[in-house]
Amino acid sequence: MKIKNWLLVGAPLVGGTIIGRLTADNAKADYEKYKQPPFAPPKETFGIVWPLLYTMMGIARIIIEESKEKDEAVISYRTQLGLNGLGSLLYFK
């Protein structure tokens, strides 16, 4: 795998980790504060699932690099990723 691809996969993972660390205390408190439905996952699940999701977002970026509509796709990708992080920061901070 090329170094560029490692960076494309790693960037959302690092960004998500930073945002996760910044919001972790408030997110845990919120999760415990609200009554959860019986099908709600345990809070420990999020530490496993979110890194996997951010890794898959990075893999999606590699796929975008090979796309014919790369410019439009990159704009959509960055917008989605930015809003994802911003939403967490606004909600939990």
Tell me the CA distances in angstroms from 73 to 41, 49, 80, one per residue in order.
32, 24, 10
Residue 27 structural domain: 3-92
Query: Total structural domains in the chain?
Result: 1
- Is pTM beyond 0.85? Reply is no
pLDDT of residue 36: 87
Amino acid at 32: E
For the cut 80, the answer to whether the pLDDT of residue 1 exceeds it is: no
pLDDT band at 6 (very low <50, low <70, confident <90, very high): very high
pLDDT digits (tens, 9 = 90+) for 33-84: 888 899 988 888 888 998 999 999 999 999 998 888 888 899 999 999 999 9
